[in-house]
Structures are given as C-alpha cells and as structure tokens.
Amino acid sequence: MDITQLILDDHAEQRRLFAILEQIDPKDTDALTKVWGRLSAFLDVHAEAEERFFYPELMKVGEAANDAEGNDAGPETIDAIEDHNKLRDAVAAVGRHKVGTKAWVEAVGKANVVNSKHMGEEERQGLTDFRLNASLESRHALAVKFAAFEAEHITGVKPVNKDPEAYVEKHG
C-alpha cells in the first residue's frame, strides 16, 4: 500500500462523484442531496487526511518536482493548503443555495474547478516529489494512517481553513 496511490484513488473517486452530479436531473433533489453530501464530506476528510499525514512528511523529504517552485516542498505545501482552503470555501458556498437550482449547480461546478486544479498540481508536484524521495516503507506506513483516518471519519470532519505559512512553519 502506498499513500500516493491512495491519494490518486481518492482523486479518481472525487472526479467520479462530480461526474455523477452532472448527470442527475436537477429536479431530483433527493439524489443530488445524497451524492453531494457524500462528495462534500469526502472532500473535507481527504483534505484533512492529507494535511495530517501527507504534507508534513512531504516537507521532510520533498525537493520540488516538475513545475513546483523552489528546491524544497515548502512552496508546494503552502499552495496545497491554500487550495484546500479555497475548496472548503467553495464547498461551503454550495450550501448557500437551494439544491438543484441553477445557482446550486453553478456552485458545484465552481467547486469542481477548484478541486480539479488542485488535484492536477498535487499529482504533478507533491505526489511525484514524494514518490521520488520517500522510502516505500514510509509511503506504506503513511498509507495505513491515511486509510484508517478516512475510514474513521467516513461521515466527514469539521472543515477548518488553515494559515498556509503557519502550517509550513509548524511542519517544516
């Protein structure tokens, strides 16, 4: 088991759930509510799991991969935490609209865009960086913690934005 693969698997599930939402008739508010409830909880739990387990370890070994700035994982981690905050805000914005309305559908679309941009960067930068610089044993140990955390919080976590610079200072 490898934390980078678990994160990729989560990303695939997030993409799948956004695609499902796009295919549900806006009048079927019951189905939309249920699928969005699952997706929004999943997004929050996934971000929190990354922040607890993945990014602190990335900052210890990372050297900035692909188009990441700098020569360590600090800048890419700051960017990721900022992205997680933007995503939490986008998810919260969905809740300000009546399910199935044009405004709700647009808010879900905006959350999808924020999430997609973040996942693409993370896959090119942080995950690549970690695969190149972390041992298989470390990747496995983190995967176990990551999977257990997500299983324990299957119904969600309280979404809390974090100060990216303070996060990097704490974990760097």
What's the pLDDT tens digit per position in 114-140?
Answer: 999 999 999 999 999 999 999 999 999
pLDDT-derived band at 172, boundaries 50, 70, 90: confident
Q: 90-98: long-range contacts (C-beta < 8 A, 24 or more apart)?
A: 90/114, 90/115, 91/40, 91/43, 91/44, 91/159, 92/159, 94/36, 94/40
Segment 38-96, tens digit of pLDDT: 999 999 999 999 999 999 999 899 776 666 577 677 888 999 999 999 999 999 999 99
Ramachandran assignment for 69, one of left (phi > 0), alpha (psi -120 to 50 degrees), beta (any other): beta
> Which residue type, as a one-letter code, is found at position 53?
F
The DSSP symbol for 80 reads: H
Number of C-alpha atoms within 13 angstroms, CB side, residue 16? 8
Are the beta carbons of 56 and 98 closer than 8 angstroms?
A: no
The angle subtended at Cα 79 by Cα 121 and Cα 35, nearest 5°, is 65
pLDDT value of residue 162: 95
Q: How many CB atoms lie within 10 A of CB 159?
A: 19
Mean of per-residue pLDDT scores for the chain: 94
**pLDDT score at 63:** 79
Element (H, E) at 115: helix 102-124
Q: What angle do CA 121, 122, 127 make, to 5 degrees?
A: 135
Mean pLDDT in residue range 16-20 = 98
Q: What is the pTM of this model?
A: 0.93
Residue with tokens 């050297």: 63
